[in-house]
Amino acid sequence: MTTISLNPQTYRPAYPIWCAGCGHYGVQSALQAALRRIGIPDHEVMILAGIGCSGTIQNNLGTYGYHAQHGRVLPAATGVALSNPALTVVAAGGDGDGYAIGVGHLVHAFRRGTSFAYIVMNNETYGLTKGQHSPTRAVDFPSHVEAPLDAIALGLSIGTTSFVARGYSGWFDQLVELTVQALSHTRAKQGFAFLEVISPCVTYQDSYPRWEHALYDVDADPSYDSTDRAAAFELSTRLQTEGRLPAGLIYRAAPTPILNTSDPVQSEIDPSNLIDRYHEIMDGYAVRTDRA
């Protein structure tokens, strides 16, 4: 069948810039597969990415894409999602972008619960600047210790957190499934969906051999209850002491009614339709000239 498109030609998606074997290929393929499985048209998707190797993923998929300032992908994505709730909004970036320069925003994204998905490609390094340690890598210096940050445990500690999951770029089928669940969570306006993906850097921090055995797949454990926040936190902290981490759907809150109905992009702005209400506001500042 031949289809004739009336739409203009837009940019041609780019080829990834990543090294052969980079975990990010798995993340991109999973995102593509998830968008396709849910059936979201390209023009309804906005992918915002940070700075770093992972911060090029938005160029490769043919959707609306935005390249944020370093560390600022979360506020930008929050602005997009609050302004136009009809869009499927995906923020993406690396662990340097999200857990170092941008970690202040991560806490508030959990706290605010705005409905969009955030996919962090955690490779324990700054690849694009050639291999410096990132906040997820443990390093001992003579002067001080850099302890690894567990953003999943951080998210679990915040009361409004509604979705945290960890995937692994080496476990593709599960990663697609987790991405579908994260996107579905936000599309149902259930809040902020946080998906960390262990996505090793084969050039500077090749951790495939380590993570393959250090991840504990909760999805494979029938006794695991992903609605039990305290149990999720307990598991995270216990595994951490063993140098391991949980993977899979770690926590998802029970569905809640949708309270936020603001839709700024659809709001009336034509002054001729609002002039009476504007006059009412102005009247509040009128100097009273009535005399006794």
Partner 1 sequence: MSAPRLIDDLSLMVAGQGGDGSLTLANLVGDLFGRRGFHLYQARNVASRIKGGHAAAYLRASVTRRGCLGDRFDLLVGFDHEAIEEGGPLLADDAHVIFDVSEGPLPDGILPGAANVLEVPFGRLAVRDLRRDLFKNSLTFGVIGRLLGIADPELEEVLRRNLTRLAGPLIEANVQALRRGLEYADGAGITTGAGPWQLDVGTSEDRLLISGNEAAAFGFLAAGGRFFAGYPITPASEILEWLTRRLPEFGGVAVQAEDELSALNLALGAAMTGTRAMTATSGPGIALMQEGISHAGSAEIPVVIVDCQRAGPSTGMPTKPEQGDIGMLVSGSTGDFPRIVLAAGGPADAFELTVLATNLAAQFQGPVYLALDQVVSQDAATVDRFDLDAVQIERGKLLVEGELAGLDEYRRYLMTDDGISPWAVPGTVGGQSLITGNERDEWGRVSTKPANRVLMIDKRARKLETLTALLPEGQRWGDPAAVIGVLGFGMQTGVMREAGERLGVQGMVVKGLQVRTLWPVPSDTLAFIESCERVYVIEHNASAQYRRVLAGAGAPNAKLRSVLRYDGLPFRPTELAARIVDQEGAGG
Tokens of residue 217, six digits: 């797949």
Instruction: In angstroms, give the least distance from the CB of 104 to partner 1.
Output: 6
- Cα 75 to Cα 106, 109, 123, 211, 263: the distances in Å are 9, 8, 23, 31, 17
In terms of CB distance, is 132 or 266 closer to partner 1?
266
Work out whether strand 132-133 and strand 139-140 pair parallel, antiparallel, or are unpaired.
unpaired
Instruction: In angstroms, give the least distance from the CB of 181 to partner 1.
Output: 23
| 135 contacts 95 by C-beta, under 8 angstroms | yes
In terms of CB distance, is 173 or 283 closer to partner 1?
283
Instruction: In angstroms, give the least distance from the CB of 55 to partner 1.
Output: 10
| 120 contacts 98 by C-beta, under 8 angstroms | yes
Instruction: In angstroms, give the least distance from the CB of 252 to partner 1.
Output: 25
Instruction: In angstroms, give the least distance from the CB of 94 to partner 1.
Output: 16
Strand locations in 155-280, DSSP E? Answer: 163-168, 193-198, 215-217, 245-252
Instruction: In angstroms, give the least distance from the CB of 68 to partner 1.
Output: 7
In terms of CB distance, is 60 or 179 closer to partner 1?
60
In terms of CB distance, is 50 or 167 closer to partner 1?
50
Residue indicated by tokens 């602005």: 79
- Integer Cα distance of 206 and 108 in angstroms: 31
- Integer Cα distance of 157 and 99 in angstroms: 16
CB proximity list for 111: less than 8 A, separation 6 or greater: 158, 160
Interface contacts to partner 1, rule CB under 8 A:
6-12, 14, 41-44, 46, 48, 56, 58-59, 62-69, 71-72, 74-84, 86-87, 104-105, 107-108, 262-271, 274-275, 277-279, 281-282, 285-292
Using DSSP, state whether 118 is helix, strand or coil: strand
In terms of CB distance, is 140 or 283 closer to partner 1?
283
In terms of CB distance, is 104 or 243 closer to partner 1?
104
